[in-house]
Structure 1
Amino acid sequence: MIPSISQSPFLRFSYATYVGIFFVYLIAPLIVVAAFAFNDSIFPSLPWEGFTFDWFFNDTEPKLGVFHDRSILKGISVSFFVAICVTLLSIAVGTSNAFLFERYDFRFKSFAYILMLLPLVIPGVILGISILVFSNTLANGIEDSLNWDLEFLRPGLVLVVLGQFSFITTIATLVISARLRKFDISLEEAAYNLGGSKFDVLRTITLPYLRPAMFGAGVVAFLMSFENFNTTLMLVGSDAPLTITMYDRLKEGSTPVLNAVSVFLMVGSAFLALISILFQKEK
């Protein structure tokens, strides 16, 4: 709705109702999941058996809390490690891509840009399968010809990082490119006229200007990596990230400990999003 155009009371009421229903539709499942994390029952469902913190802090079976569940804690640590690696790689390559596509003209630039965007439209499962088939074929060919067993080309954390990086770096590139496009190039030219080197200008002028976008891209990359499932499922090895650990636990039978993990994911995601908003607002 456009505020400057007068609307009938019925239309305003209908629009407000639609917005309210939309947000209820988004938030209601999260509230239900979070509520059952405090249910004093071994099943994450009704009836309500009472309020408890056992699914967070209890150290005995059958109500083993998330802080004492070794498989869950290991999955969190693995996901954190993968997310950090993917975030750093995505920011570094995304920044380089932003300079490449915004500052330089070269042959087949449009085609290269389309190739960069392709991972966003390819389903995560297909992307994971493609990377797995390619890496296994390459590893088998090297092993057959040179008798070298390259373990990093087999399913494991290296492939998980590369699989997530393949599409998350595209998002980082778009975020950083949008910021770089607004940069006033005359600031760099003035610094060059004052005797600054390319490295000094990049370090003191350009990168500080891009820092909010780089931070925002890093937050998005971290969250997308930490919560990724489709691509990770195809490439995971013995060290399973949190999403795969939760999936395996669901196949065995769900307990409210998974709801407790979901609460931490929701709180952590909201906290990082708030930090990103505040950081960019200050800049």
Structure 2
Amino acid sequence: MRTPVHLLWIYRAYVLVFFLYLVGPLVAAAAFAFNDSLFPSLPWRGFTLDWFVSPVEPKLGLFHDERLLRGLGNSVYIGVIVAALSVAAGTANAFLFVRKDFPFKSFFYILMVVPLVIPGAILGISILVFASMIANFADREFGLFLTWLRPGIPLVVLGQFSFLTTITSLVIAARLQKFDMALEEAALNLGASGLRVLMTVTFPFLLPALFSAVVVAFLVSFENFNTTLMLVGSDAPLTVTMYDRMVKVGSTPVLNAVSVVLMLGSGMLALLSVVAQQEKSPS
């Protein structure tokens, strides 16, 4: 049965409006990063790269703004650590829930997924209260000052790890479910050890999912705000630094310049993830 022409045009119009709705704010934010004005608003006053490269006020550029660069460095540092930890734990979780049967498996699976449905602010507050309670008890009873349980980068890593592990577990488990166990059995029958089978047969098959999980975990960690805001100390990541700049100074085109850099970086990582999936997918 052929689709009526008018319904086809309605569908195409809907898709066009939908993507304009998604892309429009990003294009506007990027455009104002090149506007020769002290404010990210119309009218257009000419093209400039000052908000990226200017070394002097009032148009101090992103690449000369020490506070924004420090926040960017903190975000990259946190993102790399969280991505590595969450992918390692997510891989273990994937093998556990896909390959093993144990009592209350469904309950523990639901428990693993729960952090995804808890609001980030609530999750951050809960972790902060719990960590502070342990730190205060250790200080009071044993004289131990556990700085890593106080607001700061270690606590931010712990907070983000708590929900990013769920995401990486689901990504890797989805790939692992497609694996043909006969391949492992054939390798074992040929005399390969369990570790060798894991490294030469199973992990190469999981590599696209592992790479995608790393990319997703890093990007989600990088842009996370709600949970991070509750756990951050003096070394603030980029999202919190931008929020603090907005509150104290107001919006300036340098924040738009940051947005351009983040959009380009995120797009490149997402593209690499897609290419890796296509190249490594089984024929």
Q: Distance in 1 between matches of 2:246 and 2:271?
A: 30
Identity of aligned residues (%): 63
Q: Distance in 1 between matches of 2:159 and 2:239?
A: 15
- Cα-to-partner distance string for 1:51-103 (whole Å, 9 max, x where unaligned): 10000000000000000000000000000000000110111000000000000
Alignment counterpart, residue 249 of structure 1, candidates 239, 245, 250: 245
- The match for 2:266 is 269
Once the two structures are overlaid, the 10-residue window that deviates more, 249-258 or 128-137, is: 249-258
Cα shift at 1:127? 0.3
Cα shift at 1:9? 1.3
| Partner SS for 2:33 | helix
Cα shift at 1:6? 1.0
Residue 180 (str. 1) matches residue 182 (str. 2): no
Residue 154 (str. 1) matches residue 150 (str. 2): yes
Moved over 3 A (4+): none
In angstroms, what is the RMSD of aligned CA positions?
0.6
Q: Distance in 1 between matches of 2:4 and 2:183?
A: 50
- The match for 1:134 is 130
Cα shift at 1:46? 1.2
- The match for 2:275 is 278
Q: Which amino acid aligns with 1:24?
A: L
Q: Distance in 1 between matches of 2:191 and 2:6?
A: 65
Q: Trace 1:204-223 onto structure 2 (pairs within 5 A).
A: 204-223=200-219
Cα shift at 1:197? 1.1
Q: Distance in 2 between matches of 1:108 and 1:215?
A: 30
| Partner SS for 1:105 | coil
Length-normalised TM-score, structure 2: 0.98
Cα shift at 1:42? 0.8
Cα shift at 1:26? 0.3
Q: Distance in 2 between matches of 1:16 and 1:254?
A: 36
| Partner SS for 2:48 | coil
Q: Trace 1:194-233 onto structure 2 (pairs within 5 A).
A: 194-233=190-229
Runs of 5+ consecutive residues of structure 1 not aligned to the other structure: none
- Cα-to-partner distance string for 1:209-261 (whole Å, 9 max, x where unaligned): 10000001110001000110000000000000000000000012111000000
| Partner SS for 1:38 | coil
Cα shift at 1:119? 0.3
Cα shift at 1:192? 1.0
- The match for 2:86 is 90
Cα shift at 1:48? 1.2
Q: Distance in 1 between matches of 2:190 and 2:23?
A: 54
- The match for 1:76 is 72
Q: Distance in 1 between matches of 2:144 and 2:161?
A: 26
Q: Distance in 2 between matches of 1:63 and 1:99?
A: 52
Q: Which amino acid aligns with 1:212?
A: P
Q: Distance in 2 between matches of 1:10 and 1:103?
A: 50
Runs of 5+ consecutive residues of structure 2 not aligned to the other structure: none
- Cα-to-partner distance string for 1:99-121 (whole Å, 9 max, x where unaligned): 00000000111000000000000
Q: Distance in 1 between matches of 2:5 and 2:126?
A: 54
Q: Which amino acid aligns with 1:259?
A: N
Q: Distance in 1 between matches of 2:9 and 2:182?
A: 50
Cα shift at 1:27? 0.4
- Cα-to-partner distance string for 1:161-212 (whole Å, 9 max, x where unaligned): 1111111111100010010001010111111111111111111110111000
Alignment counterpart, residue 66 of structure 1, candidates 51, 62, 75: 62
Equivalent pairs counted in the alignment come to 279
Q: Which amino acid aligns with 2:267?
A: A
| Partner SS for 1:77 | helix
